[in-house]
Amino acid sequence: MAAEVKTTCPYCGVGCGVLATVDEAGAVSVKGDPEHPSNFGRLCSKGSALAETIDLDGRLLFPEIAGKQSGWDEALDLVAQRFSETIAEHGPDSVAFYVSGQLLTEDYYIANKLMKGFIGSANIDTNSRLCMSSSVAGHRRAFGADTVPGTYEDIELADLVVLTGSNLAWCHPVIYQRLAATKAARPSMRIVVIDPRRTMTCDIADLHLAIRPDGDVALFMGLLAHLATSPAIDQNYIAAHTEGFAEAFAAAAALDMNNLLERTGLPAMQIREFFRLFETTPKVVTCYSQGVNQSSSGTDKVNAILNCHLATGRIGRPGMGPFSLTGQPNAMGGREVGGLANMLAAHMAIENADDRDRVQRFWGSPVIAAKPGLKAVDMFRAVADGRIKALWIMATNPVVSMPDADSVEAAIAACPFVVVSDILKETDTTRHAHVLLPSLGWGEKNGTVTNSERRISRQRPFLDIPGEARADWWQLAEVGHRMGFAAAFDFDAPVEIFAEHAALSAFENNGSRDFDIGARAGVTGDAYDELSPFQWPQPEGTAPSVTRFFADGGFFHPDGKARFVAIKPPATDRTNADFPFTLNTGRIRDQWHTMTRTGKSARLSAHIAEPFAEIHPRDAIETGISSAGLVEIESPQGKAVVRALVTDRQARGGIFAPMHWNDQFAAKARIDAVVAPITDPVSGQPASKNVAVAVRPFRAT
Ligand code: SF4
């Protein structure tokens, strides 16, 4: 009997434990790990189909230079030489890394160390910028650091679960399964879904608020004003543990009911019912995801939610708190090691001179990035205008997934030197690489990931390494060697990187932050191999435990208090006579990102086989669009052609289209070619859910 290997699903931020088995004939089977505390044996459709997506068809097996197979030495020498030459001639900010929430924490750590500590630039950003950076920014404003207070258990312990901007049923399916099972066992639990669409998640909702796009800032401001005059307000908590309530309340109270009705598009009765439920239910968890984050007011939305939890003291206690659900398998791990342009490492802040000094001394590095680097959208603008002349893209496909994707493709195509590390030979992005480096895929990789509830789990290998593929951390470390930094990148195995990250986390008490993984600083190979899933914080000398932040009312601002944020409601309507519809992009149940893996499974493709756009029946009639006919979606940025799905799940005036399809599956299928590169001013996250577009029947010319 072949041995089972405990590993972690490589798709969404739920971070489910997987048991993988390879039989004597080499066939792989997977099932949920009953002992993993995130999923207790459950898997969703994507996780269950993992074995169908790991064949070698299309794999990149050898390094390539200018489309021709090369050896590793030749390829790595060239990468190091071109990056070094570019830096020498144009300075450290003329190069950039664009990385991914698909990377393991160990990969992310090395990429961040090389860019910030040795190249001396902070031009490393990630596709997680598109995913949860507004939550990071909101957490930092309110809490003083980027921390998710709660655990999945809180969702089950709550009496009221508010899901805003979160189609849990399709995007975090195992949390949805846990929630649905809890609701079935305890029908008194109330669930409110706030979403312009009637998504599948609404099937278990007691109340669905079909809010206008970006109307949720106003809704939560209205909730704060309501709570402030209700018995739910916790004046003692506000006085002891927070600052800024008066200003936040004054801003919220300036919105009257008429204003609220107009901005949210909701009936007054529904708004009052939501406020009543929130007011009268102490155990409330508010989950939010991309519908909140992917907005030009994303950070304000996050803080509008956090304001309500702070005002009631409902945070950090069992069954209570705001809960940001991360999209990717290791979005959280990237945050831990500072794999974003505006973060440092081990939760330290790039703007903080003491933090910079601490990290530089720990690394023994010749330089340290002194200012934040370019965030994703700005990074590709800098590629386009020639400020960035050498770009290394790892484990992501920006030609499909970035907003204004056609411009991003043109920028990459014109960049003087592009390196792409990927598992696939041909993606929309790899075709523009001067150097292609073959990376390890799921089942071959070895390292750790962190899920939405701060739980660190192992991804363990169980497959033979194909061709000459190598780990991403190894590729980066080898380039670090060749750029003259051998001592700092002398790693033989991922455990050594994990141990260094843990040691940095504990170094000088991490500037008095108590949310590190310092207890793991001395981890050895065996202990790393056997590492059970655990949640941080786990400071030195402590044992793993279920942890919630802020239960004691202590926050990470210097005075130990949380901050309310006074918010101004944003303009929400971007439409005009030429572009009268609002496009909302998102995920579907059975595909992942740009389909480079899930697209291989016939079973998964059977769920929805083609790119589509949901449109309300009356809008379809008025625009002459017929059910299942082809439609053209157009914005000033570009066009996409997809199949019409006429449904009253979609509100009037809006359309929903999935983000997944790329031009290898269907011509003009990339919806991000249509999405405008508008970003949140604080987080830099693109507003992918409120895009003004025109929609019409497609006519081939
Ligand atoms: Fe994987 Fe997410 Fe599905 Fe769990 S819920 S099996 S992590 S895709």
Contact (CB, 8 A) for 143 and 371: no
CB burial of residue 210 (10 Å; 0-12, 13-18, 19+): buried
Other Cβ atoms within 10 Å of 473 Cβ, number: 28
Q: How many whole angstroms separate alpha carbon 554 and alpha carbon 548? A: 12
User: Mean of the pLDDT values across residues 512-541?
Assistant: 82
Residue-level pLDDT at 373: 97
Q: Which atom of ligand 1 is closest in space to residue 175's alpha carbon? A: 5
The dihedral of CA 272, 277, 282, 285: what is its sign?
A: negative
Distance 653 CA to ligand 1 centre (A): 32
Q: What is the pLDDT of residues 313-361, one digit of tens each?
A: 999 999 999 999 988 888 888 888 888 898 898 888 899 999 999 999 9
- Directed axis angle between helix 216-228 and helix 245-253, to 10°? 110
Residues 6+ apart with CB under 8 A from 74: 63, 65
Closest C-alpha to ligand 1, atom 3? 44
Residue 10 CB neighbours (<10 A):
24
Q: How close is the Cα of 168 to the center of ligand 1, in Å?
A: 11
Read off the tokens for 700. 């081939």
Whether complex ipTM tops 0.90: yes
- Cβ neighbours of residue 79 closer than 8 Å, sequence gap 6 or more: 392, 419, 435, 437, 479, 482
**Which residue of 33, 42, 44, 601 sits with most ligand 1 atoms within 8 Å of its CB, as the best mutation to test the pocket?**
44
Closest of 693, 658, 589, 656 to residue 203, by C-alpha: 589
From atom 2 of ligand 1, which residue's Cα is the shortest distance away? 12
**Region label for 648, one of left (φ > 0), alpha (ψ between -120 and 50) or beta (otherwise):** alpha
Reported as a single tens digit per residue, the pLDDT across 292-316 is 999 999 999 999 999 999 999 999 9
Report whether 60 contacts 422 (CB < 8 A): yes
Q: Which atom of ligand 1 is nearest to the CA of 8?
A: 7
Atom of ligand 1 nearest to the CA of 18: 6
Decide if pLDDT at 191 tops 60.
yes
For residue 474, the CA-to-ligand 1 centroid distance in Å is 27
Q: Alpha helices, DSSP H only, in 186-283?
A: 216-228, 235-241, 245-253, 257-264, 268-280
Question: Looking at ligand 1, which atom is closest to the CA of residue 45?
Answer: 3
Atom of ligand 1 nearest to the CA of 451: 7
Token pair listed for 308: 């309500």
* Type and span of the H or E element at 657: strand 654-658
Spacing, Cα 651 to ligand 1 middle (Å): 28
Ligand 1 binding pocket, CB closer than 6 Å: 9, 11-12, 14-16, 39, 43-44, 46-47, 173-174
Place of tokens 């708004």: 271
Q: Which amino acid is at 661?
A: W
Residue 1 pLDDT greater than 60, yes or no: no
CB-based contacts of 648, cutoff 8 Å, min separation 6: 198, 616, 617
- The pLDDT, as a whole number, for residue 472 is 98
Ligand 1 atom closest to the CA of 329, numbered from 1: 7
CA of 48 to the centre of ligand 1 (A): 9
Are 671 and 633 in contact by the 8 Å Cβ rule? The answer is yes
- 644 phi, psi to nearest 5 deg: -80, 130
Q: Kindly state the DSSP code that residue 307 receives in the 8-state scheme.
A: H
Q: Which of 261-265, 269-273, 427-431, 548-552 has the lowest mean pLDDT?
A: 548-552
- Mutating to test ligand 1, I would choose from 8, 11, 36 the residue with most ligand atoms within 8 A of its C-beta, which is 11
Query: What one-character DSSP code corresponds to residue 118?
Result: I
- Picking from 616, 634, 630, the residue whose alpha carbon sits closest to that of residue 673 is 634
What local confidence, expressed as pLDDT, does residue 668 receive?
81
pLDDT value of residue 666:
67
Confidence of residue 661 (pLDDT cuts 50, 70, 90): confident
Residue nearest to atom 6 of ligand 1 (CA): 47
| Cα 289 to chain centroid, rounded | 9
From 149-153, 172-176, 619-623, the region with the lowest mean pLDDT? 149-153
Residue 668 CA, ligand 1 centroid: distance in Å: 29
Contact in structure between 111 and 476 (CB atoms under 8 Å): yes
pLDDT at position 536: 86
From 81-85, 225-229, 573-577, the region with the lowest mean pLDDT: 573-577
pLDDT of the residue at 700: 77
Cα of 628 from ligand 1 centre, angstroms? 30
Separation of first and last alpha carbons in the chain: 60
Q: Average model confidence (pLDDT) for the chain?
A: 94
Q: How many angstroms does the Cα of residue 297 sit away from the middle of ligand 1?
A: 28
Residues across the chain: 701
Contact 188, 194 (CB under 8 A): no
Q: What is the pLDDT averaged over residues 533-543?
A: 80
Q: What one-letter code names the amino acid at 508? A: E
- According to DSSP, residue 93 is labeled G
Amino acid making up residue 283: K
The pLDDT value given to residue 512: 64
The rounded distance, in Å, linking the Cα atoms of 626 and 417 is 46
Looking from the CA of 540 toward its CB, the CA atoms found within 13 Å total: 15
Atom of ligand 1 nearest to the CA of 38: 4
Given a cut of 70, whether residue 514 has pLDDT beyond it is no
Pocket test for ligand 1, best of 9, 170, 325 (most atoms within 8 A of CB): 9
Q: Which ligand 1 atom is the nearest neighbour of the CA of 32?
A: 6
CA of 184 to the centre of ligand 1 (A): 21
Cβ pair 262, 127 in contact under 8 A: no
Closest CA to 408 of 431, 382, 436, 427: 382
Amino acid occupying residue 242:
T
pLDDT, residue 329, reads: 82
- Rounded Cα distance between 339 and 115, Å, is 10
The per-residue b/e assignment along 272-298, b for 16 or more CB within 10 angstroms, e otherwise, is eebbebbbebbbbbbbbbbbbbbbbbb
- Map out the domains of the chain with their CATH numbers: 4-53 (2.20.25.90), 64-131+330-535 (3.40.50.740), 133-329 (3.40.228.10), 581-697 (2.40.40.20)
- Which residue stretches of 62-186 are H helix? 72-90, 105-112, 133-143, 152-157, 168-171, 173-185
Q: Which atom of ligand 1 is nearest to the CA of 172?
A: 5
Q: What is the phi/psi pair of residue 5, to 5°?
A: -110, 130
Write down the pLDDT at residue 597: 87
For a pocket test of ligand 1, which of 174, 177, 589 has the largest count of ligand atoms closer than 8 A to its C-beta?
Answer: 174
47 CA closest ligand 1 atom index? 6
Ligand 1 centroid distance, CA of 645 (Å): 26
3-state SS, residue 191: strand
Cα 17 to averaged position of ligand 1 atoms, centre (Å): 9
Residue 173 alpha carbon, nearest atom of ligand 1? 5
From its phi and psi, is residue 439 left (phi > 0), alpha (psi between -120 and 50) or beta?
A: beta
Q: What is the pTM of this model?
A: 0.96
Instruction: Quickly tell me which residue has 């230079």 as its tokens.
Output: 65
Mean pLDDT of 428-437: 97
To test the pocket of ligand 1, the residue of 43, 328, 607 to mutate (highest count of ligand atoms within 8 Å of its CB) is 43
What distance in angstroms lies between residue 5's CA and the mean position of ligand 1's atoms?
17
